[in-house]
Amino acid sequence: MPRRLTPSRRGSALAGLAVVTAALLAFHGAVPNRVGRVGSLLESFLPWLGLVAVGLSVVALLCRSALALLALLLPVAAWTHLFGGLLLPGPQPGRPALLVVQHNVGDENPDPAGTARALAAAGPDLIALEELVPGALPVYQRTLAPRYPYHEVRGTVGLWSRHPLSGTRSLDIRPGELTASWQRALRTVVHTPQGDIAAYVAHLPSVRVGAGGLASARRDESAALLGRAVAAEEQRTLVLLGDLNGTVDDRGLAPLTARLNVPRRGFAFSFPAAFPIARIDQVMARSATVTGIRALPATGSDHLPVAATLTLG
């Protein structure tokens, strides 16, 4: 018969698991990405390691292991350092602010009119949409027009605005191995009362998790192309809205997160809508602060919309 672990050995095992959890949180960037993009996969779900620490804490209490409880201070401290600030209430904007909404509306959305009304009800200045299919596009245009007289669409992405737009163009972020028509990014300038803002709307390629790990090569290539466009942007203030198919912790989005500010408050998990476990719908900015982000109620899409406040300057 297998030997049962003694209380001291159970405590040592729990302490070891706590140290490993803390190491994954604190040094996730050291996890290699060469095989199966394991590093990116870990970073996609990094906040959930907090639940591992909670589970270990419960077991340690049941086992009455002082060693394990002491070791668990390490992952708690690491998680708090990385994500604790996201739980704090957002500051009240002391400078001019914009409210923006980002939503992948879904190419099989059964109620585009209801989705458009729900997004407009949040009262944003800008609404960025992805997966705009030809059959639904006129519905979005017609429903949003009364409140958002300015809009631009390129391929399957679009931006609706309360303020005038100009200088709109498509961005080429197509991965090299794709040869078919593929227009999933645009750039425009929003003329707000606070000044001009370059607005980018993008939909990066999907990723898949399988036996071989995380298949994200196309997404990573597209993110690099988008990062180059952002770096070359001449407008001082810039906002990026889009379904980037990655979290801000995922190193695959480093060409963007290294150049742009990410939200300071809020988790706003947006996918999948039925049980959100990650925020892959993003709002990032340059020369502006994303002071907070939150998820909005579900629409007919498999994503949740997210709303973010931008403090300019």
Structure confidence by residue, pLDDT tens digits, 216-263: 999 999 999 999 999 999 999 999 999 999 999 999 999 999 999 999
Show which of 59, 87, 115 is a domain's final residue: 87
Would you say residue 298 lies in a domain? yes
pLDDT at 1 over 60: no
Q: What is the mean pLDDT of residues 33-53?
A: 94
Would you say residue 214 lies in a domain? yes
What is the domain range of residue 80?
7-87
Rounded to whole angstroms, the Cα distance separating 15 from 13 reads 5
Residue in this structure with the two tokens 């403090």, named with its chain if needed: 311
Q: What is the CATH number of the domain that holds 299?
A: 3.60.10.10
* The predicted structure's pLDDT at residue 64: 87
Would you say residue 92 lies in a domain? no
Show which of 26, 55, 87 is a domain's final residue: 87
Assess whether 77 and 120 both reside in one domain: no
Percent of the residues in the chain that have a pLDDT greater than 70, as a whole number: 96
Assess whether 39 and 185 both reside in one domain: no
* The predicted structure's pLDDT at residue 178: 82
Say which range, 102-106, 174-178, 211-215, has the weakest mean pLDDT. 211-215
Predicted confidence band of residue 69 (pLDDT cuts 50, 70, 90): very high
User: For the chain, what is the domain count?
Assistant: 2
**Helices marked H in the chain — which ranges?**
7-26, 38-44, 49-63, 66-71, 73-83, 112-121, 137-144, 217-232, 254-257
Show which of 87, 120, 136 is a domain's final residue: 87
Rounded to whole angstroms, the Cα distance separating 298 from 281 reads 14
| Contact indicator for 242, 253 with CB cutoff of 8 Å | no
In 136-215, DSSP assigns E strands to 150-154, 157-161, 165-170, 185-192, 195-203, 208-210, 213-215
Assess whether 125 and 169 both reside in one domain: yes
Would you say residue 151 lies in a domain? yes
Per-residue pLDDT tens digits for 117-147: 999 999 999 999 999 999 999 999 999 999 9
| Contact indicator for 260, 240 with CB cutoff of 8 Å | yes
Assess whether 116 and 155 both reside in one domain: yes
Per-residue pLDDT tens digits for 146-187: 999 999 999 999 999 999 999 999 999 999 888 778 899 999
Assess whether 63 and 152 both reside in one domain: no
DSSP-derived pairing of the beta strands 97-104 and 306-312: antiparallel
Assess whether 17 and 128 both reside in one domain: no
Would you say residue 40 lies in a domain? yes
Assess whether 77 and 145 both reside in one domain: no
Would you say residue 155 lies in a domain? yes
| Contact indicator for 301, 103 with CB cutoff of 8 Å | yes
Q: Determine the residue type at 8.
A: S
Query: In a 10 Å sphere around its CB, with 0-12 CB exposed, 13-18 middle and 19+ buried, how is residue 297 labelled?
Result: exposed
Assess whether 118 and 48 both reside in one domain: no
Assess whether 63 and 178 both reside in one domain: no
Residue 308 tokens, joined: 């973010």
* The predicted structure's pLDDT at residue 11: 86
* The predicted structure's pLDDT at residue 94: 60
